[in-house]
Structure 1
Amino acid sequence: MTNIINKLGAAALMLTTAVGSGSAAESSDPIKLTLHDWSGQLINTKIMGSILQEAGYNVEYVQADYIAQFAGLKTGDLHLAMEIWETTGREALDEATGSGKVVNVGETGLMAIEEWWYPLYMKERCPGLPNWEALRDCAEEFATAETDPYGRYVGGPVTWGGFDEERVEALEMDFEVVHAGTDAALFAELESAYQRQDPIVLWVYVPHWAPAKYEGEFVEFPAFSPECYSDPSVGVNPNMAYDCGKPRGPIWKAAWSGLQEKWPGAYDIIEAYNINNEEMSAMVGKADLDGVDVDAVVAEWMTDNKDRWSEWVN
């Protein structure tokens, strides 16, 4: 009898060690991670997926819209979203976590800025920048043949949200919002305008390589407050909401509420995961500027940071 107990104890110890070392996982079902349409998110998500695979989990990547993904996270058809930006996704995140069907797994370590941005050469044509009122007063300096006499603001893809049309209306700015179809198209617009010194103001975000490659500044809008988005009486226009800048802050990890119960070890890894703006901006630059394949960028990070992610796994 003693031998049987000893054998059972040894077996239990072996199983515990296997799970802790990442050679086994609680369920063989795939953990479904969402992919979006910008390089940083693809890199961030595939690093996370690679770490989970190293820990013995089955991983599946699913293309999904940034805001619409919350429907899938609520039902459990999707399991993990690695980039919910405080700047544009907080309302959707709060609504989803409020339902009890989605959980906030904490910060990624990335700190987000998403705002209107202009090349520094535009400051000579629009004195008073970066103040938003100066931008409003010289809207014609940003006009194109298609938008004249209105200035043109190049926004991100429609799926990113951001309330740019609402802001233009609330702040009575003579600008037409033109959405780029993709992240690549957005920065192709910047490259083209910058080379010719053409007028442009557009959506730029951090972490990203663009603010390092091009000289420019973010427009300074009235300071954001949650009430500015929800209460028309708050802000410079007493009759309309969204009359302020975008919020700034962390980029969050969001998960289906059942993930922790089904894959508790994976949940702990996801919670521990963190990365910083500098390394992410450098990786996005490799992908977007140097033409390195995203999977190759991810593989290099995994090799260079093995000691770091191994601690999260163990």
Structure 2
Amino acid sequence: MTMTQASEYVSERPERSFSQDGESGYASPGSSTGGLPEIYFSRPHLKYLNEQLANLEPQEILRWCLISLPGLHQTTAFGLTGLVTLDMLSKINAGTKRQIDLIFLDTLYHFKETLELVDRVKKQYPSTNLHVYKPLGCETAADFEKTNGEKLWETNDNLYDYLAKVEPAQRAYSELRVKAVLTGRRRSQGGKRGDLDIIEVDDAGLVKVNPMANWSFQQVKAYVDEHNVPYNSLLDQGYKSVGDWHSTSPIKEGEDERAGRWKGTNKTECGIHNKRSKYAQFLRAQELKDKEEALVEALRNVETQQSASAVSV
């Protein structure tokens, strides 16, 4: 097969996507990700791009993204790195019609300082469109707890991640026709992010770009100070990575940036950067568990009815 034939073969398979680890997958037409795989990278091409982009500064990577990636959005929890990305984009796009919309996943458990920051960001970057997604059918934490119980992050953290973060993210990607996203992940944050590539493709075909993967916290903070970028006031109180209030704490000198997230556990990611197939497996297990519990309850009811009948006789 010639290179031209190979290219034509890939273009004839619109549902096919390649993930970073060599796996390939298909999105079903009825799934929330059915329209995603429209950007294609063969494994050798993806490797080549990562080798080239690794030598560029974030602004250059962002310019490449603007030229190369349709359906591009920025996902953000308004962390320091995401805010720097937003500021860089505002300067690159100054005077143009090209704007990158923001997607903010409001879990309903953010610090008040984070929500105050959102308002400040909207004022400083008024031309940026912000899309806020919350857990399905919920507007407040009380709504969420009414359906799922209190402290779900303690009783079933996988279910919490799915309901508060993964499902809203997938809903956003589907409704906004997202094909690629900019993230704020960096290698210096430690954990699973230590060997981060610039470009990744998840198991549903979504392209994820980490334009500031090479930068340190010091470089990010220096940019914030130099360019007067708004940031979360919690950073001045010892926080370096800010998520939900119930799973975020300040860090000590010398600890990794994300050491304050889920402290005392082995957890390092909130769910949206894990494989989607992991959550498909989780939901299947949850469904089987629910069916098993329903069966046990039905048998218990039958036994109760039989006992009642025996007594009445």
Structure number having the greater strand percentage: 1
Q: Greater relative contact order (Cα 8 A, min sep 6): structure 1 or 2?
A: 1
TM score, norm. by length of structure 1: 0.29
TM score, norm. by length of structure 2: 0.29
